[in-house]
Chains A and B, each alone.
Chain A
Amino acid sequence: MEKPSPLGFGLGLRPVYYQEILEKSPRVDWFEVISENFMVPGGRPLAMLERIRGTYPIVMHGVSMSIASTAPLDFDYLKALKSLASRIQPEWISDHLCWTGVHGVNLHDLLPVPYTSEALDHVVDRIRRVQDFLGRRLAIENVSSYVTFAESQMDEWTFIREMAERADCWLLLDVNNVFVSSFNHSFDQANFIDAIPDDRVVQLHLAGHTEAVTHKIDTHDQPICEEVWLLYHDVCPRFGLISTMIERDDNFPPFDELMAELDRARAIAACARTQAQEAVT
């Protein structure tokens, strides 16, 4: 099982930054796109993506696969996803461990899964079927969640580890989501990180969130907070050289501010790896 080569440090490709990216070719190693934004018949977004694809590696990140839903798999959606992948040739395709709706409705949210053996069997089966259809492994991301189900029979990290092994998929570890969920559900972040099989993780996500006193909400509209930077520092040695990207989906700052965050991620990763090597020697 050979993981894709690390791409370096990337950003989310968002329309507000198209012009700057095309004009300045910034020092970003790769871009992640929201797959659904480009699953359209035609027009400017696809043309922009193809131009930027000429210079940068691209990863496709979806929000609507609804891999944990009990609704039937949406093969129209999967065909459109496969068609986009065929056109863009992404380094890999990711989506979330979540569901987005049942009975034909799409709630446009990353809804939480009860950590039960039934849900695990269901998700594993669906990931395998989607991977067979797409002809490639998926990377599945841990989400931020706000509720704990009374039905849950195992920890989130046990569920994810089992899922990855049984479905033979990659993992996308969202560091901010670990932080947000650890606060909301009062678990130890280290338990989560330590349980994640490092040979399955192909990518890290960093992002900002919103504070709501009794809970935190994953909003991607703020700078990355200090606690998440700290957790990222702790996570880095575990995964070595790994593709890392910053998500920003609202309250968009000047592009230079994202570049500064990306440089900070580069510095922390380099520092954490050095410290880990020194500790070994």
Chain B
Amino acid sequence: MKSFRIHKGKPAPLHRANVDTDQIIPKQFLKRIERTGFGEFLFHDWRRAKDGQHDHSFPLNHPRHAGASILVAGKNFGCGSSREHAVWALDDFGFRAVIAPSFADIFANNCVKNGLLTVVLSEEEVSEIVRRATEIEEYHLTVDLEQQKVHDGHGLSASFHIDEFTRHCLLNGLDAIGLTLQHEGDIAAYEARHPVPKAMRDFA
């Protein structure tokens, strides 16, 4: 897993609530069997008009937000489908962090697994970042996981909470499967007490 410590980059505002994973990566792009190559389809139906051209009213297409690496969104970001393709698309597009007032559970889990940081800030803080990102040229934001702070060099500084274990995994880019397999003894003991039901064992 990719590690995350400090990232400075341009934020792109997407100030809408309940952005679901169907919007982040529409279903017609879920058929790839690789983890890569999803970035060009990120927010496809919002970014592109029906003729395939970029829709310039969509914030991510605004020249000011070109090269953005921090997405700033409304509450309940990533709701709906469990598709990790949504996270792969954000990552492949170049995003390293998403800031929102709240996230859907499965999406947030998927982010951690890919080293994409989800930062929960208050509605007010998010609105303020959106305002600054929209109004200030070359606006940059620093997301600091070590200090658990977001700051912009223009007087904005906001702290965020993240549970200690997730922070530890992200800071060190730990392999989650490897960590679990350290408990092989416990898993084997559990399995000895809970054998596979007979009907399932006999099948196939």
Q: Do A and B come from one complex?
A: no
Interface residues of B, Cβ cutoff 8 Å to A: none
Interface residues of A, Cβ cutoff 8 Å to B: none
